[in-house]
Structure 1
Amino acid sequence: MNFKWTRETIRTWLMMALGAALYAFGIEYFILPNLLMEGGVTGITVLLQYAANLPPSITTIVINLPLFVIGWRKLGRESMIYTIGGTLMLSLFLWIWEQLIERGWLVPFKTSQDFILVVLYAGVTLGAGLGLVFRSGGTTGGVDIIARIVHRWRGWSMGQIILAMDIVILGSALLFIPKEKVLYTLVSVFISSRVIDFIQEGAYAAKAFNILCKEPEKLASIITKELERGVTLLPAIGAYSGTNRMMVYCVVSRFEIRKLKSLVRQHDRQAFIVIADVHDVLGEGFRDE
């Protein structure tokens, strides 16, 4: 992968940094002071904070390091570079907010009564942070890496893998925090997911790409290999030229929108792309019913 610091690349990394800062702020300012939870590997780091007083800024790196190595080998360098970057930024900003709170320069929002207000602000903050990270093409590592590897190995839906792991993590939280806090966490997670969708692409779960380009068969092969998404080649006829062509049709999740745009542009800068909103998607890689 030849990495070039173009204006677009710099903007991408700045957006990822802002998202990681917001997400880390939500964890340190809202979640931890009120004994709430979070899903994914971040949820594991929060549990370790409650159980052993281990700072999330450290455990985030420790837990993700072996996943980075496995992901680099199994998923490839190109697909991991932004994931590693997003995770390192998250750990850095967690450390920054920890230091500000320890020194008394930032007073976390802690309440013993109005938890609805806490989960509302936590959900919006976490969702906005993750939405910016996802929109820039990155992730915060952890569960995403595991889900992609298991999906390749066993063919299971990534959504189902992530959901199952979140259930296990949130269930484990019952050993350390009251069940009421876990229920409040579910409200925060729901709000967060809605905000992520809104920031990513206007609250839709997926997008359908219709692409006219040079060598459509080659592009279809690239998409299949890089995104592991099904691709359909549809015959098309230019009304003006009368030329017979093939159109590439592909539906992707919200996490893959930017990646697919990038793949198309790398393949053919002059490609004609029509992106349509998809309200519901059933089938492999999406919902089963």
Structure 2
Amino acid sequence: MESLMKNNWQLTILQYFWMTIAVLISSVAVIIFLAPFDIAPSGVSGAAVILHRLIETPIGLVTFLLNIPIQILAYFLLPGSWRVVVRTLYVLVVYSITLDWLAIYIPDKGVSDNVLLNAIFGGVLEGVAGGIIFRAGGTFGGTSTLALILRHKFGMPMSTTLLYTDALVMAGAGFTFGWEAAMFAVVSLFISGVASDYVLEGPSVIRTAVIITNQPELVSTTILHHLGRGVTGWEAIGMYTHQPRWVLYVSISRSQVGELRRLVMKADPKAFMVIGQGHTAYGEGFKQSEILPVP
């Protein structure tokens, strides 16, 4: 029991460490790359950037204040959400302080005068920060928490809520900064989503193959012997011919696709094979554990 509690504390400390790193990365993205060029990030942070331009309010403080009612709603409306709320409040406090601290000590001219470059790099950093914080079991709150509430209470898909809120922020950016700035914000938002998925799921280095064959033993033995990959098979019926077939499933690395195709065609020239794209595989022969474990 004592060892288990120690491991839980170590895991919690590790998660908060990575959440802090994510906050620092996101703060740099907003203060150095996005806000100086009127590129509004998504969600509540984007609204804070717009208000900063209109009435010169601190971005960090406004981000925190706008999140408070959302977190109160989450505490009362989402079952078992107190742990998520506590983590989100920690992130928001550190995020708000870091944003306003960086705004004081870092020049507001940015690194480059090229707006597109700033939109790209700002989006990459925002996406990396989002991916890290999700893997650590945290969240930046804001519209993500609001989407969870609406899904729980009304069954509204999270993607729909996020689409509407992001569209609202982008429209506000268009009216405030001009529509060219809003278009750069959309570019940054898209890149942020791609970068976040990359951090969450890893590079697409895994391929999966489904093979339909009349020679299951020969094909599976050939794959196991030459590629060192395990094969799972089950019996099926061809719905056109109504003849029995075997379906084989195997996961391989991207570099093994050509060799797999050659081996299968050699073992059974009449085999039908579909190769699909995966992201990450866990288990024997692949990754054994995640970098940022979440309980």
- TM-score interval, normalised by the smaller of the two chains: 0.5 to 0.7
State whether residues 74 and 149 of structure 1, in contact with CA within 8 Å, keep that contact through their aligned partners in structure 2. Answer: yes
Letter in 2 for 1:124: V
**C-alpha displacement of 1:37:** 1.2
State whether residues 36 and 109 of structure 2, in contact with CA within 8 Å, keep that contact through their aligned partners in structure 1. Answer: no
Letter in 2 for 1:32: A
User: 1:152 and 1:203, CA in 2 relative to 1: closer, same or farther beyond 3 A?
Assistant: farther
Give the aligned partner of residue 283 of structure 2.
none
Alignment partners' CA distance in 2, 1:153 and 1:170: 26
The superposition leaves residues 101-130 of structure 1 with CA deviations (integer Å, 9 ceiling, x where unpaired) of: 2xx5x863252xx22211121111111112
**2:173 counterpart of 1:167:** no
Q: How does 1:138-153 map to 2 (within 5 A)?
A: 138-153=138-153
Structure 1 residues without counterparts, runs of 5 or longer: 205-257, 264-289
Alignment partners' CA distance in 2, 1:62 and 1:77: 19
**C-alpha displacement of 1:139:** 0.8
Letter in 1 for 2:171: G
Letter in 2 for 1:117: L
Q: Number of matched residues?
A: 201
Give the aligned partner of residue 77 of structure 2.
74
Letter in 1 for 2:200: Q
TM-score by length of 2: 0.64
Letter in 2 for 1:197: D
Give the aligned partner of residue 155 of structure 2.
155
Give the aligned partner of residue 42 of structure 2.
39
Q: Which has the larger radius of gyration?
A: 2
The superposition leaves residues 213-254 of structure 1 with CA deviations (integer Å, 9 ceiling, x where unpaired) of: xxxxxxxxxxxxxxxxxxxxxxxxxxxxxxxxxxxxxxxxxx
Give the aligned partner of residue 60 of structure 1.
63
Question: What SS does the aligned partner of 1:156 have?
Answer: coil
Q: How does 1:116-265 map to 2 (within 5 A)?
A: 116-202=116-202, 262=294
State whether residues 83 and 139 of structure 1, in contact with CA within 8 Å, keep that contact through their aligned partners in structure 2. Answer: yes
**2:27 counterpart of 1:24:** yes
Letter in 1 for 2:129: G
Letter in 2 for 1:26: A
Letter in 1 for 2:48: T
**2:90 counterpart of 1:88:** no
Letter in 2 for 1:180: E
Give the aligned partner of residue 115 of structure 2.
115
Alignment partners' CA distance in 2, 1:169 and 1:124: 19
Give the aligned partner of residue 218 of structure 2.
none
State whether residues 150 and 156 of structure 1, in contact with CA within 8 Å, keep that contact through their aligned partners in structure 2. Answer: yes
State whether residues 174 and 180 of structure 2, in contact with CA within 8 Å, keep that contact through their aligned partners in structure 1. Answer: no
Question: What SS does the aligned partner of 1:176 have?
Answer: helix
The superposition leaves residues 184-240 of structure 1 with CA deviations (integer Å, 9 ceiling, x where unpaired) of: 111111111111011111268xxxxxxxxxxxxxxxxxxxxxxxxxxxxxxxxxxxx
Give the aligned partner of residue 240 of structure 1.
none
Give the aligned partner of residue 103 of structure 2.
98
Letter in 1 for 2:138: G
RMSD over aligned Cα atoms: 2.1
**C-alpha displacement of 1:78:** 2.4
**C-alpha displacement of 1:69:** 1.4
Alignment partners' CA distance in 2, 1:64 and 1:175: 23
State whether residues 87 and 139 of structure 1, in contact with CA within 8 Å, keep that contact through their aligned partners in structure 2. Answer: no
State whether residues 128 and 192 of structure 2, in contact with CA within 8 Å, keep that contact through their aligned partners in structure 1. Answer: yes
User: 1:58 and 1:45, CA in 2 relative to 1: closer, same or farther beyond 3 A?
Assistant: same
The superposition leaves residues 27-58 of structure 1 with CA deviations (integer Å, 9 ceiling, x where unpaired) of: 00011111111111111101101111111111
Identity of aligned residues (%): 24
Structure 2 residues without counterparts, runs of 5 or longer: 205-289
Deviating runs (4+, > 2 A) in structure 1? 106-110
Give the aligned partner of residue 250 of structure 2.
none
Alignment partners' CA distance in 2, 1:138 and 1:79: 7
State whether residues 45 and 59 of structure 1, in contact with CA within 8 Å, keep that contact through their aligned partners in structure 2. Answer: yes
